[in-house]
Amino acid sequence: MSRPPVSDPNRPSLRNPALRPLTLRDVSEASGVSEMTVSRVLRNRGDVSNATRDKVLVAAKMLGYVPNKIAGALASQRVNLVAVVVPSLGNLVFPEVLGGISETLEDTGLQPVFGVTNYSPEREEAVLYEMLSWRPSGVIVAGLEHSDASRAMLRNAGIPIVEIMDVDGDPIDSVVGISHVRAGREMARAIIAAGYRRIGFLGTKMPEDYRARKRMQGFEAELAEAGLNLEDREFYSGGSALAKGREMTAAMLARSPHLDFLYYSNDMIGAGGLLWCLEKGIDVPGKLGLAGFNGVDLLDGLPRKLATMDACRREIGQRAAQIVAGQSGSGLVGGERVELTPRLQPGDTIRKP
Amino acid sequence: MSRPPVSDPNRPSLRNPALRPLTLRDVSEASGVSEMTVSRVLRNRGDVSNATRDKVLVAAKMLGYVPNKIAGALASQRVNLVAVVVPSLGNLVFPEVLGGISETLEDTGLQPVFGVTNYSPEREEAVLYEMLSWRPSGVIVAGLEHSDASRAMLRNAGIPIVEIMDVDGDPIDSVVGISHVRAGREMARAIIAAGYRRIGFLGTKMPEDYRARKRMQGFEAELAEAGLNLEDREFYSGGSALAKGREMTAAMLARSPHLDFLYYSNDMIGAGGLLWCLEKGIDVPGKLGLAGFNGVDLLDGLPRKLATMDACRREIGQRAAQIVAGQSGSGLVGGERVELTPRLQPGDTIRKP
DNA sequence: CTGAAAGCGCTAACAA
DNA sequence: TTGTTAGCGCTTTCAG
């Protein structure tokens, strides 16, 4: 099952009759200019006369030459790739972070390359190993929790490492994110201030979702300091988060009808819960308050605006990219720490105090 | 703004005291085995005695050696990367396609590398150029519409090219997708069969969203054959699709209150429209029918199930990956055509005929 | 089973 | 402004 041979009539190439990757030498021969000068033209380096430059560019375009970065990288010991490792793309959270990264890297000459771990430390290790073996200029990786091997690889890579999303932990090098513990605490404070007392928590079952767990921990800690505790909790995994939000809400309220607040670990299940409550005619936020987490813009389209907390996703991507690109303006070399402040968006599902 | 010098006390490395990428030679010296044999061990190639193998593996692990794929690729003329180019990640559609690709590639030794174009042909060209310059083993790219330069690059690359999502057009090499023209037609047929006659269309403004446009074309063609035409249309760009769906629906029904069906170009705006209609107490699907496109699982959590058509996203990713990996089992070498059949999901927003 | 030599396609460094 | 000479770190190939 290999590619067709050069002579295969079905896949002819007008521009590249050799049907093998063109080299600098081909351009050199076609233009009558030395390989070295061709290389300079193609990289806009050094001084080249306009006449020569034009000859080279015409030849390169005519042949359809695409430089071989593998050889270039090996020779120059420079790779314009930034490895970006996230747990998931289905989450809505991460695409936005990646958007911030791409945008910021756009005019730095650096190129993001994405890898996905599915919340598995083993996958993370494999993905990091694979990516590091291409000797990228930097790594941006979600979270502060990694296997020992992953940490060792990153530490030894000798390139900027930026851990993102979360600042509650021990970074390898730089870190950009929010404190999820604090986010949980602040939400608890707002809820208590609004007069709610009988509170339930709904979240993901995934033990690897450290950030959701930290929010819950902060949340409970704050409740405890107010003499309260979580009266019920429910966890899910898999399936449509919106539908799960409905189901879990129904289940929890059937089991614990006295609850007056539900804190969801993400906006999607929160939105499901909200829709369910509205259908049941439950008085939100009068009898029952609701809040989620992330500030996804989906919430703008709901019948009522779910209280949430913005996770600064885009900005996290931007700041991380700046650090990798050496544009953070901090004057620091590595070891930066950027803690962003999530903004509480009270929406319409928490009583005004 | 460069990395700290070797002696920087803040970023010490226990495993890699040199703080420069380790080479095969380092492992060779540490293990007392020739570079060549070390290479063989690390790639599981050729016969190596167990004793030697162990010596090498121990040394490599102890040092924290990560192979340099750049050098390896240059020497072997083999790169285990598959370039995957999509217009957007915010779309929910593409993450799922990427999931199908990753999953299928998982045990082929190939690694997907993702690039995003933001629906811009110029960005696509730049991304393709960048990716091709790493000499990947294959390319999977969304859509059949590309700039001439992009098409030329892909044709000349001498590797499997799979265009995905859409089969209505002229593929460069292989193609995996659905016919969006036909999808539009089928939706129109179902709507007409259910007795709706005064139909409006709501979609994206983006001229580059060829697939949405093809659906609309197919839709209108089928209407025309039934002696009908679109009575109103509305387009949006930017913002929360759910919120836009509400706004557009409100605007269209204010302008054209006689409409009895709204066809949305994607599920997100459709969901917004559905929520709005339910709030307004509009009789859906009695007085007004609604349908979207994509079959996103978000719909499972809505108060009523929006009619939609599944775009076979995951399967598209899987089939495309199989072709690139040479596992499609077709016996063909290049030039495969896989047309999948989107399934109509009538949901609760089209009257039963 | 193991090793030595050559070179992948490009670029750094120097020479002209 | 242009060309020449050595490699970059690995794998291929062939010889022991």
Instruction: Measure the CA angle with vertex A147, ends A236 and B72; round to 5°.
Output: 120
Nucleotide C6: closest residue by CA–C1'? B75
Residue B206 gets which letter from DSSP? -
Nearest to A334 among B4, B96, B297 (CB): B4
- A296 Cβ neighbours under 8 A, 6+ residues apart: A92, A93, A267, A268, A308
At residue A19 the predicted structure's pLDDT band, cuts being 50, 70 and 90, is low
Residue A5 has pLDDT above 50, yes or no: no
Assigned domain for A142 exists: no
How much is the pLDDT for B305?
96
Higher confidence at residue B156 or residue B218?
B218
Beta strands at A174-178 and B199-204: parallel, antiparallel or unpaired: unpaired
Out of A143-152, A205-214, B33-42, B98-107, pick the least confident: A205-214
Interchain CB contacts (distance < 8 Å): A and B = 176
CA distance A107 to chain B (A): 12
Chain A, nearest residue to B246 by Cα: A301
B134 is a domain residue: no
Tell me the longest C-alpha to C-alpha distance in chain B. 85
Is residue B175 helix, strand or coil?
strand
Give the tens place of pLDDT for each residue, A313-322.
999 999 999 9
Region for B142 from its dihedrals, namely left if φ exceeds 0, alpha if ψ lies in -120 to 50, beta otherwise: beta
Residues of B in contact with A71 (CB under 8 A): 74
For residue B206, CA distances in Å to A47, B87, B211, B262 come to 42, 12, 11, 19
Bases on strand C under 7 Å from any protein CB:
1-13
Give the Cβ contact number of residue B238 at 10 Å: 9
A34: in domain: no
Looking at the predicted structure, is the pLDDT value of residue B7 above 50?
no
Q: Which of B6, B131, B300 would you mutate first to test chain A, the one with the most A CBs within 10 A?
A: B300
Query: Rounded CA gap, A231 and A247, in Å?
Result: 18
Residue of chain A nearest B61, judged by CA positions: A149
Asked whether the predicted pLDDT for residue B123 surpasses 90, the reply is yes
CA distance B223 to chain A (A): 30
Q: Hey, which residues does A236 pair with through a beta bridge?
A: A204
Average pLDDT over residues B164-182: 97
Average pLDDT value for residue range A211-239:
95
CA distance B271 to B299: 7
Flag if B134 and A70 touch (Cβ within 8 Å): yes
Mean pLDDT on B23-44: 94
Closest to B164 measured CA to CA, from B132, B129, B139, B137? B139
Contact A135 B243 (CB under 8 A): no
**Contact (CB, 8 A) for A103 and A47:** no
Q: So what's the pLDDT on residue B327?
A: 87
Nucleotide in closest CA–C1' contact with B76: D11
- Closest Cα to residue B171, out of B323, B310, B314, B341? B323
Please check the confidence at residue A178 and state whether its pLDDT lies above 80. Answer: yes
Q: What is the model's pLDDT at position A230?
A: 96
Q: Which residue of B has its CA nearest to A101?
A: B116
Judge whether residue B6 has pLDDT over 90. Answer: no
* Residues B21, A158: C-beta atoms closer than 8 Å: yes
**Average pLDDT of span A262-273:** 96
pLDDT for the residue numbered B76: 95
Bridge partner residues of A162 (DSSP): A140, A174
Nearest to B177 by CA among B161, B165, B162: B165
Whole-angstrom Cα distance, residue A346 to residue A192?
Answer: 13
Contacts of A159 in chain B (CB under 8 A): 3
The answer as to whether A204 is a domain residue is yes
Contact yes or no for B159 and A3 at CB 8 A = yes
Mutate to test the interface with A, among B10, B242, B337 (most CBs of A within 10 A): B242
Looking at residue B352, its pLDDT comes to: 87
- Are B100 and B314 in contact by the 8 Å Cβ rule? The answer is yes
What single DSSP character describes residue B223?
H
* pLDDT for position A238: 84
Amino acid identity of B178? I
Any domain includes A61: no
Rg (Cα) of chain A, in Å, rounded? 26
Is there a contact between A303 and B2 if contact means CB atoms under 8 Å apart? no
Residue B279, both tokens = 């709030």
- Tell me, what CATH number does A238's domain have? 3.40.50.2300
Residue B81 has pLDDT above 80, yes or no: yes
Q: Evaluate whether residue B197 is within a structural domain.
A: yes
Work out how many domains chain B is built from and give that number: 1
Average pLDDT estimate for B149-176? 96
Among B134, B202, B306, B330, most A C-beta atoms within 10 A, so best to mutate, is B134
Ordered DSSP codes for A70-131: HHHHHHHT---EEEEEES-STTSHHHHHHHHHHHHHGGGT-EEEEEE-TT-HHHHHHHHHHH
Residue A10 has pLDDT above 60, yes or no: no
What are A331-345's pLDDT values in tens digits? Answer: 777 899 999 999 999
Note whether residue A72 is domain-resident: no
Predicted pLDDT of residue B16: 56
**Residue A2 per-residue DSSP state:** -
B19 to chain A, closest Cα gap in Å? 6
The mean-pLDDT minimum among A153-167, B123-137, B321-335 falls in B321-335
Residue closest to D2, CA→C1'? A37
What average pLDDT does this structure show over A239-244? Answer: 92
Residue A28 has pLDDT above 90, yes or no: yes
Chain A residues with CB inside 8 Å of B3's CB? 158-160, 333-334
Give B45 to chain A, closest Cα distance, Å.
19
Question: Closest Cα partner for A294 from A263, A319, A336?
Answer: A263
- Residues 6 or more apart whose CB falls under 8 angstroms from that of A150 comprise A121, A124, A125, A128
Report the nucleotide nearest the CA of residue A36, measured to C1'.
Answer: D3
Calculate helix-pair angle for B93-105, B313-324, nearest 10 degrees.
40
Distance from CA of A225 to the nearest CA of B (A): 36
Whether residues B135 and A242 touch (CB distance < 8 A) is answered with no
Q: Is the pLDDT of residue B12 over 70?
A: no
Q: Kindly report, residue by residue over A76-88, the tens digit of the pLDDT.
A: 999 999 999 999 9
Read off the tokens for B348: 């609760």
Task: Please determine, for residue A284, whether its predicted confidence score (pLDDT) is greater than 60.
Answer: yes
CB contact under 8 A, A301 and B272: yes
Using one digit for the tens of pLDDT, what is the confidence trace for A107-128? 899 999 999 999 999 999 999 9
Residue A201 domain flag = yes
pLDDT per residue as tens digits for the range B269-299:
999 999 999 999 999 999 999 999 999 989 9
Whether B158 and A21 lie within 8 Å, measured CB to CB: yes
Integer Cα distance of B95 and B90 in angstroms: 8
Q: What's the rounded mean pLDDT across residues B103-112?
A: 92
How confident is residue A18, by pLDDT bands cut at 50, 70 and 90? low
* Cβ distance of B240 and A158 shorter than 8 Å: no
Q: Calculate the average pLDDT of chain A.
A: 91
Residue of B7, B11, B162, B322 to mutate when probing chain A, most A C-beta within 10 A: B11
Burial A35-46 (b: 16+ CB within 10 A, else e): eebbbbbbeeee
pLDDT computed for residue A30 by the predictor: 94
pLDDT exceeds 90 at position A51:
yes
* pLDDT surpassing 70 at residue A1: no
Q: Containing domain of residue B232, as a range?
A: 180-311
- pLDDT for the residue B18: 55
**How far is Cα B183 from Cα B342, in angstroms, rounded to an integer?**
7
pLDDT computed for residue A242 by the predictor: 95
Name the residue closest to the C1' of C12 by its CA.
A76
Q: pTM above the 0.85 mark?
A: yes
| B98 neighbourhood in chain A, CB within 8 Å | 89, 116
Q: State the pairing for strand pair B344-345/B308-309.
A: antiparallel
Contact A64 B153 (CB under 8 A): yes
Chain A residue with the nearest C-alpha to that of B17: A156
Residue B151, pLDDT above cutoff 50: yes
Buried/exposed code over A76-96 (b: 16+ C-beta within 10 A; e: otherwise): eeebebbbbbbbbbbbbbbbb
CA B271 and chain centroid, separation: 22
The percent of chain B in helix, strand and coil, each rounded to the nearest 5, is 45, 15, 40
Given A66, A116, A135, which is nearest B68 (Cβ)?
A135
With a cut of 80, say whether residue B138 has pLDDT above it. yes
